[in-house]
A and B are shown apart, each in its own frame.
Chain A
Amino acid sequence: MGFFEMTKTALRTVLSRPATILYPAQAAKRTPLTRGHIIFDGSKCISCSICQRKCPAQAILLSKEAKSWQIDRFRCVMCSSCVDTCPAKCLSMDPVYTAPASAKGVEVFTITYVKPPKPEKKEEPIQ
């Protein structure tokens, strides 16, 4: 007879800890590789705009004139394509997710990188 097939599982569940966590009282599960959000380091950015071109969601906008780098967190899909392709290594992926927000908008960062007085060979965009 096929009754009470679940008894074993049910008993074990009663005796063990719950499978869920009390978020947000308890922190969410994270691993070192978790793709949470992009961090931008303005002191290293060479304004090559590769990140803008390589972004599949078109979330990044870089302006050479205004010296600004902006990201639309609502468009970003956390693929970390920009992190992989950035030649200056000014982008990194942080495992913490972005906080919820009540309005859409972009985050603007200023590029503070100054070309060294005696520039070495300028880096060409890598394809």
Chain B
Amino acid sequence: MKQEQTIIPIEVGRLIGSVEQFRNEGYRLAQIGCTKVGDNSFEINYSFDKDYVLQNLRITVTAETEVPSITGMYWGAFVYENEMHDLFGIQVKGINIDFKGTFIRTAIRYPFGVSVAKEEKK
């Protein structure tokens, strides 16, 4: 049996509004995950679950883009947002508990992000 899921690409500006809509419709935040798709391009998936159907909002950003935090709607999202910041170097604005890069302490700064990719190319 295939698990149902859809991916809805949106712009960064519409993120807060769309998340709020999901929250009002009674969705549960399943995960936020970042994927590096190009040299300085990241896809962020916000997955919401209701009755075992997964809806994903996808925004595509660069390391310089400021992504608004969704912790206002989903308080528990701070774990994902801090993780995203610590591993990929995504700038998330307005997290309720902002660890400022100390949630996951890594030897290399932003190990999954842009700077490492540059080092590898050398």
Direct A–B touching in the complex (beta carbon < 8 Å)?
no
